[in-house]
Structure 1
Amino acid sequence: MTTTHEFWLAGRRASGEAEFEVRHPHDDSLVAKVSVPTDAQVEEAVAAAAAAVPVFAATPAHQRAGALDHVAKRLAERTEEIARLITAENGKPIKWARGEVGRAVSVFRWAAEEARRTNGETLRLDTDPGGTGRYAIVRRFPRGAVLGIAPFNFPLNLVAHKVAPAIAVGAPIILKPAPATPLSALVLGEILAETDLPAGSWSVLPVENAEMPALVQDTRLPVISFTGSDRVGYQIMDSVPRKHVTLELGGNAAAVVLADWNSEADLDWAAGRIALFANYQGGQSCISVQRVIADASVYDRLVEKVVAKVGAQVTGDPYDEATDVGPLVDRKAAERVESWVEDAVAKGAKVLTGGSRDGAAYAPTVLAELPADAILATAEVFGPVLSLHRVEGTEEAFAAVNDSAFGLQAGVFTHDVQTAFRAHRELEVGGVIIGDAPSYRADQMPYGGVKDSGVGREGVRYAMDDFTFEKVLVLTGLDL
Structure 2
Amino acid sequence: MIPFHVAGRPATSSDFLTVRHPFDTSLVGETSQATAEQVEEAVAAAATAAGPAAALPAAERAGALDEISARIRRRGEEFAALITAENGKPLKWARAEVARAAGTFRWAAEEARRFSGELQRLDTDPAAAGRLALVRRMPRGPVLGIAPFNFPLNLVAHKVAPALAVGAPIIVKPAPATPLTALLLGEIMSRLDLPAGMFSVLPVPNERMAGLVADPRLPVVSFTGSGPVGARIRAAVPHKHVTLELGGNAAALIAGDWDDLDYAAQRIATFSNYQAGQSCVAVQRVFVHRARLGAFTPKLVAAVEALTVGDPRDEATDVGPVIDERAAERIEEWIAEAVTKGGRVLTGGTRRGTTVAPTVLTGVPADARVCAEEVFGPVLVLTPVDSDEAGLAAIDDSAFGLQAGVFTRRIDLAFEAHRRLHVGGVIVGDVPSFRADQMPYGGVKGSGSGREGVASAMADYTEPRVLVLTGVAL
Q: Does 1:95 align with 2:114?
A: no
1:194 aligns with 191
**Structure 2 residue identity aligned to 1:241:** P
1:278 aligns with 272
Once the 2 structures are TM-superposed, how far is the Cα of residue 373 of structure 1 from its aligned partner?
2.9
Residue of structure 2 aligned with 1:357, choices 351, 355, 367: 351
Q: Distance in 2 between matches of 1:197 and 1:301?
A: 58
Q: Distance in 2 between matches of 1:376 and 1:37?
A: 37
Once the 2 structures are TM-superposed, how far is the Cα of residue 20 of structure 1 from its aligned partner?
1.1
Structure 2 counterpart SS, 1:122: strand
Mapping of residues 325-404 of structure 1, within 5 Å: 325-404=319-398
1:249 aligns with 246
Structure 2 counterpart SS, 1:70: helix
1:405 aligns with 399
The superposition leaves residues 216-273 of structure 1 with CA deviations (integer Å, 9 ceiling, x where unpaired) of 01010000000001111111001100000000111000010001002xxx00000000
Once the 2 structures are TM-superposed, how far is the Cα of residue 17 of structure 1 from its aligned partner?
2.2
1:58 aligns with 55
Residue of structure 1 aligned with 2:412, choices 418, 428, 433: 418
Q: Distance in 2 between matches of 1:360 and 1:339?
A: 13
Residue of structure 2 aligned with 1:152, choices 149, 153, 164: 149
- Aligned residues of 1:143 and 1:468 also touching (Cα < 8 A): yes
Residue of structure 2 aligned with 1:468, choices 462, 465, 473: 462
2:127 aligns with 130
Q: Distance in 1 between matches of 2:63 and 2:32?
A: 30
Structure 2 counterpart SS, 1:425: helix
The superposition leaves residues 274-293 of structure 1 with CA deviations (integer Å, 9 ceiling, x where unpaired) of 00000000000000000000
**Structure 2 residue identity aligned to 1:322:** A
- Aligned residues of 2:284 and 2:371 also touching (Cα < 8 A): no
The superposition leaves residues 81-129 of structure 1 with CA deviations (integer Å, 9 ceiling, x where unpaired) of 1100000000000000000000000000000000011110101110011
Alignment size in residue pairs: 474
Q: Distance in 1 between matches of 2:366 and 2:184?
A: 44
Once the 2 structures are TM-superposed, how far is the Cα of residue 446 of structure 1 from its aligned partner?
0.4
Residue of structure 1 aligned with 2:173, choices 173, 176, 183: 176
Once the 2 structures are TM-superposed, how far is the Cα of residue 375 of structure 1 from its aligned partner?
1.4
**Structure 2 residue identity aligned to 1:367:** L
Once the 2 structures are TM-superposed, how far is the Cα of residue 372 of structure 1 from its aligned partner?
2.6
Q: Distance in 1 between matches of 2:128 and 2:388?
A: 52
- Aligned residues of 1:107 and 1:164 also touching (Cα < 8 A): yes
Q: Distance in 2 between matches of 1:442 and 1:372?
A: 30
Structure 1 runs not aligned, ≥5 long: none
Q: Distance in 1 between matches of 2:417 and 2:433?
A: 16
Once the 2 structures are TM-superposed, how far is the Cα of residue 212 of structure 1 from its aligned partner?
1.1
- Aligned residues of 1:17 and 1:37 also touching (Cα < 8 A): no
Q: Distance in 1 between matches of 2:15 and 2:246?
A: 30
Q: Distance in 1 between matches of 2:440 and 2:87?
A: 26
Structure 1 counterpart SS, 2:148: coil
Point out 4+ residue stretches in structure 1 off by more than 3 angstroms: none
Mapping of residues 211-360 of structure 1, within 5 Å: 211-262=208-259, 266-360=260-354
Q: Distance in 2 between matches of 1:286 and 1:167?
A: 25
Q: Distance in 1 between matches of 2:430 and 2:62?
A: 34
Residue of structure 2 aligned with 1:29, choices 10, 26, 45: 26
**Structure 2 residue identity aligned to 1:117:** R
1:440 aligns with 434
Root mean square deviation of aligned Cα:
0.6
Q: Does 1:459 align with 2:453?
A: yes
**Structure 2 residue identity aligned to 1:413:** F
Once the 2 structures are TM-superposed, how far is the Cα of residue 37 of structure 1 from its aligned partner?
1.0
Once the 2 structures are TM-superposed, how far is the Cα of residue 371 of structure 1 from its aligned partner?
1.6
TM-score with structure 2 setting the length: 0.99
- Aligned residues of 1:22 and 1:89 also touching (Cα < 8 A): yes
Residue of structure 1 aligned with 2:204, choices 183, 207, 230: 207
2:473 aligns with 479
The superposition leaves residues 396-425 of structure 1 with CA deviations (integer Å, 9 ceiling, x where unpaired) of 011000000000000000011111111111
**Structure 2 residue identity aligned to 1:182:** P
Once the 2 structures are TM-superposed, how far is the Cα of residue 347 of structure 1 from its aligned partner?
1.1
Q: Distance in 1 between matches of 2:152 and 2:93?
A: 12
1:119 aligns with 116
Q: Distance in 2 between matches of 1:422 and 1:399?
A: 11
